[in-house]
């Protein structure tokens, strides 16, 4: 027998993990600097580590209370009802829940190009059809209502990313509001704020209160350093928040992840250190990399280096792992995740040597 026709589905190819690369190069993983997946260079909060350890004793139970506690803490933080928090296995899992809740077969979605690959993947899993709007390199990947609306044709879902991965560009609150305003009432605008903690721009949260066609995506994978636990959430309008119970996979987030998420939320010091260091590293990379870079609101910087595949391969041999952006349709660009005050200069030194070769 065979699966259904999956020819439209593009396999997800994750960046290689630090252990795989170390094995290939015959190096100790500790000798490598991994700045390719926008992970937290400080690791998880110490409180989250403790929470995972103590949760281990209870993993024979379903995470009913843990789920409720995390959703309630997030609702409190955002000043919304608990039902308005849609927990999922990573932000990616939450995109799937939006797809399950909104897409009838054949309905169309609008995604940014370049952009985050999972929007299109998730939409296709839910029998959606994918169209693109283009962020133009010549215009520094500017995100305006016009860029989105020029490609809009009664799509069921529009995905916006601010700060945008991989370019770092941002979309203002007013411009997001314009997109929501100018599109049909039955068009859901998803604002992906996976990197919002790293910018000063205000979140789209008030739009979720004022309108019923805007939802926000947040994740614990980036600033909170919990990528390996897979926990994210949607912040959705009250009027359709109850759809969650009809679309979520029961106990979407596992017990250690719920407990770690709660602990991480409480650790302001870890978050502040992470954000402050990322902001410093962004400037450091802009100032010292021997290549043009773009302004970034995230914990990463996009740089134009000519042949990204060569630069990524040669830097990796020297122990520096960064992201070759060919898969984003930018074969001349690399994306460098902000590291620590030690690892960032080390990475830039190596990259400059490789770029200047
Ligand atoms: C990392 C990321 C996410 C969420 O990732 P998860 O690990 O699944 O939570 C969502 N959107 C963008 C643009 C990202 O870079």
pLDDT tens digit string along 235-271?
999 999 999 999 999 999 999 999 999 999 999 999 9
Q: Is the pLDDT of residue 88 over 80?
A: yes
pLDDT band at 18 (very low <50, low <70, confident <90, very high): confident
pTM of the model: 0.97
Measured in Å, residue 300 CA sits from the centre of ligand 1 at: 13
Give the Å distance between the CA of 222 and the centre of ligand 1: 8
Whether the CB of 165 sits within 6 Å of ligand 1: yes
Which atom of ligand 1 lies at the shortest distance from residue 161's CA? 13
**Banded model confidence at residue 104, pLDDT cuts 50, 70, 90:** very high
Q: Mean pLDDT over residues 28-52, rounded?
A: 95
b vs e for 113-138, b when ≥16 Cβ sit within 10 Å of the residue's Cβ? ebbbbbbbbbbbbbebbbbebbbebe
**Distance between Cα 219 and ligand 1 center (Å):** 7
For 296-319, what is each residue's pLDDT tens digit? Answer: 999 999 999 999 999 999 999 999
Which residue of 171, 221, 296, 337 sits with most ligand 1 atoms within 8 Å of its CB, as the best mutation to test the pocket? 221
Query: Can you tell me the distance from the alpha carbon of 227 to that of 243, in angstroms, rounded to the nearest whole number?
Result: 26
Q: Which of 44, 112, 116 to mutate to test the pocket of ligand 1 (most atoms within 8 A of CB)?
A: 116
Substitution site in 88, 117, 165 for ligand 1 pocket (most atoms within 8 Å of beta carbon): 165
DSSP 12-65: P-PPPPHHHHHHHHT--GGG-EEESS---TT-S-HHHHHHHHHHGGGTTS--HH
* pLDDT tens sequence across 320-343: 999 999 999 999 999 999 999 999
| Ligand 1 touching residue 227 (CB < 6 A) | yes
Instruction: Please choose from 222, 229, 299 the residue to mutate so as to test ligand 1's pocket, defined by most ligand atoms within 8 A of CB.
Output: 222
Question: Region 32-42: what's the mean pLDDT?
Answer: 96
Mean pLDDT, rounded, of the chain: 96
User: How far is the centre of ligand 1, averaged over its atoms, from the C-alpha of 179 (Å)?
Assistant: 22
Percent of the chain with pLDDT over 70: 100
E-strand stretches of the chain = 33-35, 85-88, 108-113, 129-134, 157-161, 188-192, 214-219, 232-235, 300-304, 320-324, 333-337
Distances, alpha carbon 269 to alpha carbons 45, 263, 274, in Å: 9, 12, 9
148 CA to centre of ligand 1 in angstroms:
21
The domains of the chain, with CATH numbers, are 18-43+268-356 (3.90.1150.10), 46-265 (3.40.640.10)
For atom 5 of ligand 1, which residue has the closest CA? 91
Q: Which two tokens stand for residue 345?
A: 């200069």
pLDDT of residue 25: 83
pLDDT score of 77: 98
| Any atom of ligand 1 within 6 Å of the Cβ of 232 | yes
């Amino acid at each position: 027998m065979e699966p259904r026709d999956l020819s439209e589905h593009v396999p997800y190819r994750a960046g290689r993990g630090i252990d795989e690369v170390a094995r290939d190069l015959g190096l100790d993983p500790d000798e490598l600097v991994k700045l390719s997946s926008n992970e937290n260079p400080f690791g998880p909060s110490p409180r989250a580590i403790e929470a995972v350890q103590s949760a281990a004793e209870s993993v024979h139970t379903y995470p009913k209370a843990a789920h409720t506690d995390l959703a309630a803490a997030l609702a409190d933080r955002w000043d919304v009802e608990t039902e308005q928090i849609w927990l999922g296995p990573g932000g990616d899992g939450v995109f799937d829940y939006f797809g399950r809740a909104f897409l009838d077969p054949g309905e169309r979605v609008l995604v940014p190009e370049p952009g985050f690959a999972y929007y299109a993947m998730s939409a296709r899993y839910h029998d959606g059809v994918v169209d693109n709007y283009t962020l133009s390199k010549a215009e520094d990947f500017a995100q305006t209502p016009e860029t989105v609306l020029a490609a809009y044709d009664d799509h069921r879902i529009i995905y916006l990313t601010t700060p945008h991965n991989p370019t770092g560009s941002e979309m203002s609150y007013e411009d997001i509001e314009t997109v929501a305003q100018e599109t049909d009432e039955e068009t859901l605008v998803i604002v992906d704020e996976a990197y919002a903690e790293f910018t000063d721009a205000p979140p789209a949260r008030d739009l979720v209160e004022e309108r019923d066609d805007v939802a926000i995506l947040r994740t614990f994978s980036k600033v909170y350093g919990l990528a390996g636990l897979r926990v994210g959430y949607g912040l959705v309008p009250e009027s359709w928040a109850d759809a969650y119970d009809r679309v979520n996979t029961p106990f979407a987030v596992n017990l250690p992840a719920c407990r770690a998420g709660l602990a991480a939320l409480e650790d302001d010091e870890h978050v502040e250190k992470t954000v402050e260091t990322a902001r410093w590293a962004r400037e450091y990379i802009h100032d010292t990399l021997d290549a043009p870079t773009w302004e970034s609101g995230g914990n990463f910087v996009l740089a134009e280096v000519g042949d990204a595949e060569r630069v990524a391969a040669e830097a990796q041999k020297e122990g520096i792992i960064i992201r070759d952006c060919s898969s984003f349709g930018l074969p001349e660009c690399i994306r460098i995740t902000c590291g620590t005050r030690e690892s960032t200069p080390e990475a830039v030194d190596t990259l400059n040597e490789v770029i200047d070769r």
